[in-house]
Structure 1
Amino acid sequence: MSSRSYTGRHYAGRHRVQQRRARLPRALSSGFVLPTAAAGALVVTAAGATMAESAPQSFDLTGRQTAMVRTQEAADEQAASDIATRRQDANIEAAAFQGRAEEKARAARAARREARARAAAEAEAERLAKKWVRPVDVWNVTSGFGYRWGRLHAGIDLAAATGTPLHAMSKGTVLSAGYTSGFGYKVEILYWDGSTSWYGHMSRIDVVAGQEVLPGDQVGLVGNTGHSFGPHLHLQMQSAPEDGTPIDPVPWLQDHGLW
């Protein structure tokens, strides 16, 4: 026979015995699709055995286990809360510390500014206290320093109207203030540089012994008391309060810019 089907079944002139293969059920062939429910419930092994697919197992916690879980969760929440509280407290404390440090720095700067301002004010006050002013604003010299009528006229006479204010010439201390027979109402002032002035023939005294005076402070009024021939200020300058040696007031006034 010459057909391909016949030729294919013979080899070397002999009949080949065809072996029968085990055929799989149609349900397990590649072209067959099981229903969804059946596919999920049935598994067939190569040997034809079947077994049911195991369903997921659920584990139920006991009451004690649940309580332990909840206790642990509560502890975790409390720990987190404590950490947050401590962090907040630390931030507050850090802010407070920084605030105190800044306040201390501001106070220190303010103290330094105040100290500088106070020192400047004191220096200015001292400068003003040590300036020199005229004992009377307007005068007319009627008698100079020197001998007259056989006696030393130890000062100069500055004529001015009775009641004209008399001023301390600079910062100083009143050594004496009162009435004497020759000078009438008289005031002695020791100044900061050691100079001493005598004001004589005053009509009124406005200071007391031991009083501190500053430039321009009123110490009394021009008058005509004591041995005087008219209202005037008898201005006498002493080299030192201890010995009482008089000096010519004119050069002294010139040296202090008051003449």
Structure 2
Amino acid sequence: MKAITSIQNSFVKQLFQLKEKSRERRKTGLFLIEGAREIMLALQGGYDIDTILFNPELHPLERVEALNAEGVDLIEISKEVYQKLAYRETTEGILAVAKSKSHQLDALKFNTKSPLILIAEAPEKPGNIGAILRTADAANVDAVIIANPKTDLHNPNIIRSSVGCVFTNTIATGSTSEIIKFLKSEGIHIYCAALQASEPYHTQDFTKPTAIVVGTEATGLSAEWRENATQNIIIPMQGAIDSMNVSVAAGILIFEAKRQRGFN
């Protein structure tokens, strides 16, 4: 088995660039996954793992082999190399190099006649994106669509904050215009969380093909979404402010749709 002990190793330098630079991830089509659970979820999600790197002091070989990652190159690395490449402050001692998947909108297919889709427009904070993906996984939605993405989905902080749910969800990306056109062509009703011309969310019928759309906390949804909505919806507030964290709002709306559908 190959071993790497120096942070000056050329391969280690390449991996460090994958960790730090979205441009490098886009150029190579590769990204880093940190953590055994996240690697396992990526494998279950059909991601192609190229290499697994592990520090035997932190992650023994038998635990690496338990992942059943057949045909994957294993490289033993020193603690110094691991700490150079790791993103988390807590140490698990295992990393993987994976190949990116396409998230093209036109590749999106549904296995039901009444899909439930969660859409987020221009989310900027990786932590919010991760939380939205966790909500989507918990509700087992049919797809998550990111409109006008501001960061790539393989940002290490998205992988971390989603606890690997970036691998468990069906995800697509596109511009707002492209997504609206796609939804209309599929006969999917659009419900936009917005303050303007809105009805209380719980008064709507989410049992039909449904897309629930949320925007940023700072600016909300763009006019294009609001003007193309089947209905703008609002979560009635009883406090001093008129908005809440986008992932919390998404959770409330999505689970109301699940309640109406009998949690199917």
TM bin, normalised by shorter chain, reads: under 0.3
| TM-score normalised according to structure 1 size | 0.20
Say which one has the larger Rg. Answer: 1
> Which structure: greater strand fraction?
1
**Greater relative contact order (Cα 8 A, min sep 6): structure 1 or 2?**
2
